[in-house]
Structure 1
Amino acid sequence: MTSAEVLLIGGRAGVGKTTVAWEVSALLREAAVSHAIIDGDFMGQVHPAPDGDPDRSEITERNLAAVWANFAQRGYHRLVYTNTACVLPSEAGLFVRALGADVRATRILLTATDATTRARLTRRELGSELERELVNSARKARLLDTGASPETIRIPTDGRPVRSIAEEAAAATGWTQN
C-alpha cells in the first residue's frame, strides 16, 4: 500500500474547488472511506512572506507536512487537497516531501468560463479584492490550461450541480471501489 493517496483539486479562483472538495468529502463519508481534507490556500497565508520564501512555498510545505504527520499518525492515508496550482507538475515535489515518497496522486483540474467565474467571484468577494481576483483568476486559468500534465482530469463546472462534479472527481480516485 502507498503511504498516502491524495486527490488534488486545482483550478482558477471561482471555479468551485473548495465547494467540490467538501462535497467529495461528503461522498466519501457516505461510503465510509477514511480520509482527511485540507484547503491548501490556508497553508501559506502569512504576511509578509517569510525571508527567503517570497512565494510562501516553504512555509506551505512545512505546514502541510506538519498537518499531514498528525493525520498519518492517526492512521489516515487518503487526503483531499485543494489549491489553485496543486495539479501542476512543478508542485509534485511538494507532496512527495510533505506526504512521503510513496504518494499516489489523482489530479483534477476544475474548469469554468470567464462569465461563470466572474458571477461566482462577484458573489463571494465582498471586500476590496474583486478586481484583483478577476484578473488573477483569468491569468491562472491560462497557466493551468497550458501547464497541467496530460494525465490531469479536466472537469467543467459550468451549469453543473456540485454533487455531479464531486461524483466525477471521487470516482477518479477509485477510493469508493474498495
Structure 2
Amino acid sequence: MTTQEVLLIGGRAGSGKSTAGYEVSRLLRAAGVAHCLIEGDNLCEAHPMPADDPHGTAMTEANLAALRANYRGLGYRRLMYTNTVSVLERDLVTRAMGGGPMRVIGVLLTAGDDTVRRRLAGRERGSGFEEELRRSTRGARVLERESGDWVVRVPTDGRTVTEVATEVVAATGWLQDTAASTT
C-alpha cells in the first residue's frame, strides 16, 4: 500500500491559512507534484448543529472522510488540509483518512495581533469582526500551548504569501521527490 501524506495547515483566524494553502498548491502544481487541497473551515458550516455534535466535530470528520475517499479513488496520496485547529486534530484526520501507512506533517501559521486585526478588517465586512478577533486571540493562545513538538511554526507577519508557502512546502519535503509524486 502506498503511504498517504497529509499536510495540516493550522493557525488562528487571520494567520493566512487559506491564502497560504492556495499558494502552496500553486507551488506544488508548478513542480508537478500531485496533491489535493481541502479547505476545512467549510466542512461543518451548517445551522443548526446537531444536538449530539454541537461543535461539528463528527460532521467535520465524516465530510473529510468522504472527500478523502473521493480523492483517494482518483489516485491522490498527498492531501493538504487547512483548518484553524487542524494541528490539534491529528487523530481525527488520521481516522478520516481511513488508516494505512501515513505520514502527517503539521504546520502552524502564526501572526501577531496587529497583523490579524488588519487582515480580519479586510475580510470581515459584517457584524462578526469583533467576535472573530476575540476568537482569534483566544485561539492563538490555545494553538501555541497545545500544538506538539511535531508541528513546525511558520510566522506570517511581514512576509509575502510566497515566502510563507515556500517555507511550508519545504517542511513537507514533497519537492525532493517530484519524479515519484505523480499521484
TM more than 0.5: yes
1:60 corresponds to? 60
Q: Is the 8 A contact 1:3 1:100 kept in 2?
A: no
- Residue 181 of structure 2 aligns with which residue? none
1:94 and 2:92 aligned: yes
Q: CA deviation at 1:98?
A: 0.8
Residue identity in the other structure for 1:13 = A
User: In the alignment, is the contact (CA less than 8 A) between 1:95 and 1:103 conserved in 2?
Assistant: no
CA distance in 2, matches of 1:45, 1:173: 29
Of residues 95-104 and 4-13 in structure 1, the stretch that sits farther from structure 2 once superposed is: 95-104
Q: Which residue of 2 aligns with 1:76?
A: 76
Cα distance in 2 for residues equivalent to 1:2 and 1:141: 35
- Which whole-Å CA distance do the structure 2 matches of 1:130 and 1:3 have between them? 41
Gaps of 5+ in 2: 178-183
Task: Give the alignment's TM-score, normalised by structure 2.
Answer: 0.94
Q: How many residues align?
A: 176
Could you tell me how far apart the structure 1 residues matched to 2:52 and 2:134 are? Answer: 27
Q: For 2:86 and 2:172, locate their aligned partners in 1 and report how far apart those are by CA, in whole Å.
A: 16
Gaps of 5+ in 1: none
CA shift for structure 1 position 2 = 4.6
Residues in 2 aligned to 1:48 and 1:22: alpha-carbon distance in whole angstroms? 29
Counterpart for residue 49 of structure 2: 49
**Partner SS state of residue 86, structure 2:** coil
Name the aligned partner's letter for residue 107 of structure 1. Answer: G
| 1:98-155 C-alpha deviation (Å, 9 max, x unpaired) | 1122321110000010010001001110011100000000000000010000121000
Letter in 1 for 2:14: G
TM-score (norm 1): 0.96
CA contact (8 A) 2:65 2:98 kept: no
Q: Which amino acid aligns with 1:48?
A: P
- Asked whether the 8 Å contact 2:43–2:64 carries over to 1, the reply is yes
Distance in 1 between the 2:103 and 2:55 partners? 25
Sequence identity of aligned pairs in percent? 52
1:7 offset after TM fit, Å? 0.7
* Whole-angstrom CA distance in 2 between matches of 1:136 and 1:21: 21
Query: In structure 2, the residue corresponding to 1:71 is in which secondary structure?
Result: helix
